[in-house]
Amino acid sequence: MERPAIAGGKPVRDTKLFYGHQYIDDADVKAVTDVLVSDYLTCGPKVTELEERLCKLTGAKYAVACSNGTAALHIAAMAAGVTEGDELITTPITFAASANCALYCGAKPVFADINPKTYNIDPDCVESKLTDKTKAVVAVDFTGQAAELKPLLEMCHEHGIVLIEDAAHSIGTQYDGKFVGSIADMTTFSFHPVKTVTGGEGGAVLTNSEELYRKLVLYRAHGITREADLLENPSHGGWYYEQIDLGYNYRMTDIQCALVISQLDKLEMFKKRRCEIVARYNEAFSKLPELFVQEEILESDTVRHLYILRIKPELLTIDRKGFFEALAAENICCNVHYIPVYWHPHYQRLGYEKGLCPNAEKLYEEMMSLPLYYSMTDKDVEDVIAAVEKLVAYYRK
């Protein structure tokens, strides 16, 4: 039996392979440099162009580009009317921003457990958490797979609740034949470098509601408007504007927008390669009873942002921490997405306790994110598979 590198054997590869990496080509560089020598670096035409491009891609009526995915969630929660004393339901298996957007508004995050097979928020658990204080639900498309949007939308609308889809992982994904971005009351995107398309940073909120759109535009830019029908006093002239609400400086630069626009030209290419890698991983890992392969709902045509390797510790002589470190010794550098949000010290100090969401906590103890990005070669993919198979064989009970 081949000895793992962590136990003195030879690693499967000589160079490190990281879990995620952006892909930038000459067209991206030119898009950015063209903006750098133009008249506008921010608040210019590329912002509008990106918003129009996102609407064309998804079928949404309105898009509001903003500085990052966290800002997008914040202004979406504000537009939903989330405020002090309200509750916002979300999943614990997400980056903290999905819950923090409630805290930013003075509201209480409430955590609903996940489906243990798909890892997305469980609509039945969401329903069990509803109270007369619930103002919004933030459903995260974890790994890029769409949440169960139909039952969530029906439930939210029945109770007068706003559904915000956190689609930071899922640009390009379709649910029941419709693109993510055109389905929920509001949908947020992130353009962080490890996401499918990047702007370096950046985000957006998409909606089909003109009322929500007008709020989002205000909250993105200090609560300031030049719109004549929103001004509360007579205009002093063409320069005149008013702050009519409390907003934030969550604007996205033309530099970032230009990069995202160029990246969107490659979205189908990115999707194809990511799907190929996921299919190869699934083929290999489904043959190993010591591993659990994430299930996908029939409605989701997924552009996968993350690939989750989940071990069954009861069938191995090694735990997740040991497996993670053993893969690193093979030069396969993974990550873990995510620590349950309410496990973080800030949330513990707010009174949240471990044990709230057993499925999510069990998943956390057993998972890690394998390398998955467009520029991975077939050799890279096979190295990942070889390393996993090597460890499973060695540590099998």
Contact 71, 263 (CB under 8 A): no
DSSP alpha helix (H) spans, 319-377? 320-329, 345-349, 358-366
Q: Quick one: average pLDDT of 174-190? A: 98
Q: Is the pLDDT of residue 239 over 90?
A: yes
Tell me, what amino acid is at 62? Y
List Cβ neighbours of 160 (8 Å cut-off, separation of 6 or more): none
Residue 392, SS3 per DSSP: helix
- Closest to 155 (Cα-Cα) out of 139, 171, 179: 139
SS3 279: helix
The Cα–Cα gap between 196 and 51 comes to 17
Residue 204 scores a pLDDT above 90: yes
| Burial class (CB within 10 angstroms; exposed 0-12, middle 13-18, buried 19+) of 322 | middle
Eight-class DSSP state of 13: -
Mean pLDDT of the 365-373 span = 98
Compute the distance between CA of residue 66 and CA of residue 63 in angstroms, rounded to an integer: 10
Region 182-191: mean pLDDT is: 98
Average pLDDT for the chain:
98
Per-residue model confidence (pLDDT) at position 1: 81
Q: Which two tokens stand for residue 366?
A: 């057993």
Under the banding of pLDDT at 50, 70 and 90, the label for residue 305 is: very high
- The Cβ-side half-sphere exposure at 125, using a 13 Å CA radius, reads 22
User: 5-31 pLDDT, tens per residue?
Assistant: 999 999 999 999 999 999 999 999 999
The predicted-structure confidence for 153-171, as pLDDT tens digits, reads as follows 999 999 999 999 999 999 9
Q: Assess whether pLDDT exceeds 90 at residue 253.
A: yes
β-sheet bridge partners, residue 175:
178, 300
Contacts of 179 (CB under 8 A, 6+ apart): 57, 58, 59, 172, 173
Task: Give me the half-sphere count of Cα atoms (radius 13 Å) on the Cβ side of residue 360.
Answer: 25
- Cα–Cα–Cα angle for 144, 193, 57, rounded to 5 degrees: 55
Does an H or E element contain 70, and which?
helix 69-79
Share of residues in the chain with pLDDT > 70 (%): 100
Binned at pLDDT 50, 70 and 90, residue 135 comes out as very high
Q: Which residue has the tokens 């750098």?
A: 36
Give the residues across from 332 on adjacent strands.
Answer: 17
Instruction: Write out pLDDT tens, residues 43-87.
Output: 999 999 999 999 999 999 999 999 999 999 999 999 999 999 999
